[in-house]
Homo-oligomer: A and B are copies of this chain.
Amino acid sequence: MAKQARAIQTRRVILEAAGAVFDEFGYESATIAEILSRAGVTKGALYFHFASKEELARGVLGEALTTEGVLPQESKLQEWVDVGMVLAHRLPAEPLLSASIRLSADRKARDLFGTSWTGWIDYIAGLLVAAKEQGELLPHVDPHQAATLFVSSWTGVEIVATSLENDQTLEARIAVLYDYFLPSVAVPGALRRLDTAPDRGGRVWQAHHEHYGQERAAEPDGVLSSRA
């Protein structure tokens, strides 16, 4: 493996370990020692990439604003559904994503690093503006207001679900969110054509990998510019 590719992979391994530790212990109680032990890298390797716990948290949040796996769709409402469903599909297997929610909900960490929520709200609002231009949106819908409520609700579903009995996947819960949300947003003609099945995220994610004919690359793609 070329030197640069190895460095990128090491950075990723460290970030994933940091994500898992932040997720489990919270920012305050997380230690570099625990992150080192999970990552299985040397102290030197970690400090080469991240000078401090603060930088690790910033790195985790920087990876969180990702639409990786979502392909452009003719219907911008379907693309919006795909963004939320793919994230719901990926999150349980990717501690980087759940850690970023935990860090954002943690007042101390949030004061230091901000959150990825404003970036998400702007991104979803952009999709809804495009949907409006295509005539997919009900006329009274304010894209920014709807995007703010949606990002808030998605986050609340994830946070509350982790405390409920594990009888439903996050994908199933987010599919319910879309089913309740969409009738207040979409014109009936657009609504009928949307696919909000709980397995939508998994299918889109798989199609993305087949499209690129490869396993998920070490380099993260689809990472939006972070506001963190």
Q: Which residues of A contact B (CB under 8 A)?
A: 24-26, 28-29, 102, 104-108, 110, 114-115, 117-118, 145-146, 148-149, 151-157, 159-164, 173, 176-177, 179-181, 183-185
Task: Determine whether the beta carbon of A110 is less than 8 Å from that of B156.
Answer: no
Given A149-B176, A176-B149, A184-B179, also A104-B155 (CB < 8 A):
no
What CA separation (Å) do A33 and B181 show in the bound complex? 45
CA distance A102 to B108 in the complex (A): 12
Contact of A110 among B115, B163, B177 (CB under 8 A): B163
Secondary structure of the A side of the interface? helix
Cross-chain contact A152 with B156 (CB below 8 angstroms): yes
Q: CA of A164 to CA of B164 in the docked complex: distance in angstroms? A: 27
- Given the interface contacts A157-B149, A183-B184, does A163 sit within 8 Å of B104 by beta carbon? yes
List of B residues within 8 angstroms of A107 by Cβ: 24, 26, 102, 162
Q: CA of A177 to CA of B108 in the docked complex: distance in angstroms?
A: 27
Residue numbers in B under 8 Å from A25 (CB-CB): 108
Cβ contact within 8 Å between A161 and B157: no
